[in-house]
Amino acid sequence: MSEGRFNLSALAVRERSVTLFFILLTALVGLMAFLQLGRAEDPAFTVRVMVVSAQWPGASARQMQDLVAEPLEKRIQEVAYFYKVETTARPGRVDLLVEFQDYTPSEEIPELYYQVRKRMQDAAPSLPAGVRGPFVNDEFSDVYFALYALSAPGLEPRLLVREAERVRDRLARVEGVQKARLLGERPQRFFVEFDHARLANLQLTPQAVMDALQAQNQLLPAGFVETEGPRLALRLDVGLRDPEEIRRVPLRVGGQLVSLGEVAEVRRGYEDPPAYLVRAGGEDAVLLGVVMRRGENGLELGARLDDFVARLEAELPLGITLTRLTDQADAIAHAVDLFQIKFLVAVGVVMLVSFVALGWRAGLVVGIAIPLTLGLTFLLMLIRGIDLDRVSLGALIIALGLLVDDAIIAIEMMLVKMEAGWDRLRAAAHAWTVTAAPMLSGTLVTAIGFVPIGFARSGVGEYAGNIFWVLAFALLVSWLVAVTFTPYLGSLLLADPRPGTGHGEGYNGPLYQRLRALIRRCVGHKRLVVGFTFALLAVAVAGLAGPVQKQFFPSSDRPEVLVDIYLPEGSSIGATDAVTRRVESVLAEAPGIASVSSYVGAGAPRFFLALNPELPNPAFAKLIVVAEDVAARDALIARLESHIAAGDFPEARVRVHRLLYGPPVIWPVTFRVVGPDPLQLRALADRVRALVASDPHTRGAHLDWDERVPVVRLALDPDRLRLIGLTPREIAQQMQYALTGIVATEIREDIRNVSLVLRGSQDQAVRAEALADLTLKTLDGRTVPLAQAGSLSVGFEDPVLKRYNREPFIAVQAEVSGAQPPDVTMAIWSRLAELRATLPPGYRIDIGGAVEQSAKADASIQRVQPIMLALLLIVVMLQMRSFSGTLMVVATAPLGVIGATLALLVGDRPFGFVALLGMLGLAGILMRNTLILAQQIEVNLAAGMARADAVIEATVRRTRPVVLTAIAAILAFLPLATDTFWGPLAYVLIGGILVGTAITLLFLPALYALWFRVRLEG
């Protein structure tokens, strides 16, 4: 480059004061940005899921599916970005889990929720009479930053709820809290219980009692009077407020008035049977859930919540205990602190390598360049709104191993020229003239390698996309620092070279001579070297496809243990609760537990991003056990599994597992058997289950539903009904009163509406075998047994029906042991080939679980890969200026698979989504090395060297920076190798860079010589 052209390096050295000012400003701004960056455990992520529910008391699961779910599903499928609706119909209730496409823009989600809500409101009038809802829960995706349990043994639950309401209101006012919610409240009831015989003797009907209660309780307008001043409203002091007032309600019996309390027992109570139970530490509790405001610093909010709790505990009434169940602040502190330690270790290691390899002066220049690069990176992260979390901190550590290359190249080029007798300004300017363009191209190529994850339109892309942005910021800033601050610092700190110590003479030393001879042999045997390398690549690809384990996302390192309890479908919540209490008793004896919370009848609130709360189901319970540390967690899992293996819970399927990173995956191995007929589905699903169970790596293979439950049917005889003077509605009302109770009215108490339930005395609970003897009250006052109204018989029906996008399905599910879920799934899938080939028309088997989610994530990346390839070709072509050179550079991209496969096999690490990111980055690193080497060859050719000598000498001169960068990168990645999330990626990069160094120094010269037909002279 001529002297008259713009030279940023020369300008930085000439304008010393300006450059020093910007160095100091960068350091200050970088420190301020680092302190202001938000802290979070995981990146902000949009859960594109909502739930629609409806209730129809008395309806069977089939009726709920056909008459309620069917019209709702059709309307939901009209919404833009619709992906799937998974419908679960149970007697009296249906839940529709609606999921939108992974590529749905986050800003569109509120509008889509509104569209679903609007369609549900439009569909409601067309639903059968008696249907309640549909109810739309668009807060299903809320992640609770903290969960607190409020308990008070011996205190009335309603009084505990009142205290919880006051705490909730105060929690909502804490800075950084978006919402605070009360969870797990057991609804209050007033019960009016009659003795069956006495009610019959008094000739009272439940309807007459209901009418009397409503007459005393109904709030109606009494009019108003217009005056010359204000309007004067007349208010009637009506309303039943407590049990005593209910007892005083008058009833007409015969020709007399009696009070309700004389003929019935009136008492307070709670929903019976309960729909949802929550316990903390074995005690009944209500929960307070805190949702963090988006963009808030989690550590700061955690500190404010700790202060609030400390003040609150001093003010709570005696006997009320507030227990923290989960707190993301702890997880954030653990994750961020651990990564910051690893990050600082990586910084120190990289600087130490620079000092040792380059000397303390040159090493100091590189050491200063690293924090300056990071400072500007922090500033760009702050501007873009990227927090310090698991993904961004991991990306920073990855960047550390890559960003030193530019600084090392620039400072070494300056050293070489100063030792050749050039003055400082000219030596500094030479870094821009010769290396700025190839370094920029190499930097762009490395960053472009991560474009697919940065722009993947999927949930996984949203979760991990900041890897691209952080790396791109760090690498581009490292180039800018290398061509501005590094030359200035080099001119300031580098000592004048002493005669006889130059790099030019050093390149003729014994070590370099041996390296030169080795490179010459590689060039001389170029076909053998290239052929052997590509043979290794083929073997590595085969190894990656075969022996290397496959994985989607790894397990979390958080201390929670999840215990899922499944009873047969149709089981009562009382039976489920009994099993749950036995599991709690096992946990009560276990050491190392920080907290235990139990949720019976539905799942736990979403306290972790990748955890979908289970929908209401009386036959399901979940326990969240927080261990004191990872070792205690693993010991607790082993303890629980030993009790399960010993058969301590024979009536239930009890599953113990850990949290997983990535999108929610309930069971690691899942197959959906889809088809129209439930009976045929059961038969096919049983065959699939047998094949799944036969795999040595599966445990607990089962169908998610297949039971049928007994049901008593009353076939009404119209002639008999006409004789006794009753209608089916009146019979149903009297039976409901006798068996479960009917809601007569609602009592207005404080800020609650409390249902008043009429029912038979619980001392005379009806047994199944005595149903025929239940008495009915006729309109003329007679009593007749139920058997006179029709014939009773026992039948069977489905307690649950499930559909996937309006098609019935049964899921075959299993746990995995001793292998990775994708490997096990694909092995079973191949064994299902014969069954799949013989399926009846209209039936199919789909893969679900981890493999389905992984395929969605991989597809989102593959859609962006053509763009990545186009960008790579553009950058390489602009740098190489020839088709042959461009193709040669691109040909080196897949060679990282050799080292990556070897590292994964040696380290026994799985290849999954995170490792795939490392593979993409590795391709960019190798192409960067090829680009810079090719540019050095062109410089040598321009200096008049023969082509063979130009290739060999360029490789010799690139050896030092390549080796130094490789050592720095490998040592920087080592702290990540033990991390549960980043470990596979670290292994890929470490192995790839180790082999990549050999490829750069030995294979690339041979490839270049073969590509351009270079021949050795002599």
Residue 467's CATH number: 1.20.1640.10
CA–CA dist 570, 564 (Å, integer): 17
27 & 87 share domain = no
pTM: 0.83
CA 209 to chain centre: 52
- Nearest CA to 716 out of 788, 796, 795, 770 is that of 788
Number of C-beta neighbours around residue 504 at 10 A: 12
Q: What is the pLDDT at residue 2? A: 43
Q: DSSP for 481-523? A: HHHTHHHHHHHHHPPPPPTT--HHHHTTSHHHHHHHHHHHHHH
418 & 491 share domain = yes
CA 941 to chain centre: 54
Q: What is the pLDDT of residues 503-537, one digit of tens each?
A: 445 567 788 788 888 988 988 888 999 899 989 99
111 & 213 share domain = no
CA–CA dist 486, 174 (Å, integer): 47
Q: What is the pLDDT at residue 3? A: 47
- Residue 232 tokens read as 């004067």
Q: Which of 797, 812, 842 is the last residue before a domain boundary?
A: 797
52 & 30 share domain = no
CA–CA dist 329, 323 (Å, integer): 15
Residue 197 lies in a domain: no
72 & 114 share domain = yes
Residue 53 lies in a domain: yes
Going by pLDDT thresholds of 50, 70 and 90, the confidence category of residue 912 is confident
Residue 835 lies in a domain: no
Q: What is the pLDDT of residues 422-451, one digit of tens each?
A: 877 888 787 788 778 888 888 888 888 888
Please, are residues 569 and 800 in contact by the beta-carbon 8 Å criterion?
A: yes
Burial class (CB in 10 A: 0-12, 13-18, 19+), 768: exposed
Q: What is the pLDDT of residues 156-205, one digit of tens each?
A: 888 999 999 999 999 999 998 999 999 989 999 999 988 776 776 777 77
364 & 489 share domain = yes
Q: What is the pLDDT at residue 65? A: 95
**CATH code, domain with 70:** 3.30.70.1430
The set of residues, in sequence order, having a beta carbon less than 8 Å from that of 938 and lying 6+ positions away, is: none
Report the DSSP beta bridge partners of residue 845: 673
- Residue 92 tokens read as 């009296």
89 & 10 share domain = no
pLDDT at residue 258 tops 60: yes
Residue bearing tokens 């998610």: 704
106 — phi, psi (to 5°)?
A: -60, -35
Backbone dihedral region for residue 434 (phi beyond 0: left; psi -120 to 50: alpha; all else: beta): alpha
Alpha helix stretches (DSSP H) within 525-589? 526-545, 573-588
Q: What is the pLDDT of residues 877-904, one digit of tens each?
A: 888 888 877 888 888 888 888 988 999 8
30 & 52 share domain = no
Q: What is the pLDDT of residues 938-963, one digit of tens each?
A: 878 888 888 888 888 888 887 877 88
Q: What is the pLDDT of residues 103-132, one digit of tens each?
A: 888 889 999 999 999 999 999 999 999 899
23 & 59 share domain = no
Q: What share of the chain is helix, strand, coil (3-state, %, to 5)?
A: 55, 20, 25
Please, are residues 37 and 387 in contact by the beta-carbon 8 Å criterion?
A: yes
Residue bearing tokens 């330690």: 341
Highest-pLDDT range among 417-431, 614-628, 757-771, 861-875: 614-628
Domain count, the chain: 4
Q: Cα separations (Å) of 874 from 622, 871, 938, 949, 974?
A: 54, 5, 19, 29, 33
Number of C-beta neighbours around residue 410 at 10 A: 32
Across 112-255, the runs of DSSP E, i.e. the strands, are 132-137, 144-151, 177-183, 188-194, 224-225, 232-233, 250-253
Please, are residues 485 and 23 in contact by the beta-carbon 8 Å criterion?
A: yes
386 & 489 share domain = yes
CA–CA dist 145, 423 (Å, integer): 60
Max alpha carbon distance in the chain (Å)? 131
**Cα angle vertex 598, ends 593, 603, to 5°?**
125
Residue 598 lies in a domain: yes
Report the DSSP beta bridge partners of residue 19: none
634 & 715 share domain = no
**Cα angle vertex 754, ends 752, 758, to 5°?**
175
Q: Which of 632, 659, 686 is the last residue before a domain boundary?
A: 659
Residue 615 lies in a domain: yes
CA–CA dist 828, 839 (Å, integer): 17
Q: Which of 756, 776, 797 is the last residue before a domain boundary?
A: 797
Report the DSSP beta bridge partners of residue 289: 147, 181
Please, are residues 804 and 844 in contact by the beta-carbon 8 Å criterion?
A: no
20 & 79 share domain = no
Q: What is the pLDDT at residue 54? A: 95
Q: What is the pLDDT at residue 160? A: 92
Q: Which domain holds residue 605?
A: 556-659
Q: What is the pLDDT at residue 847? A: 92
Number of C-beta neighbours around residue 62 at 10 A: 14
Residue 276 lies in a domain: no
CA 205 to chain centre: 54
Q: What is the mean pLDDT of residues 53-71?
A: 94
As a three-state string, the secondary structure of 646-679 is: CCCCCCCEEEEECCECCCCCCCCEEEEEECCCHH
Residue 804 lies in a domain: no
Burial class (CB in 10 A: 0-12, 13-18, 19+), 168: buried
Please, are residues 7 and 1 in contact by the beta-carbon 8 Å criterion?
A: yes
Residue 462 lies in a domain: yes
Length of the chain, please?
A: 1018
Considering the chain, what percentage of its residues have pLDDT values greater than 70?
97
Lowest mean pLDDT among 82-91, 530-539, 651-660, 940-949: 940-949
pLDDT at residue 1 tops 50: no
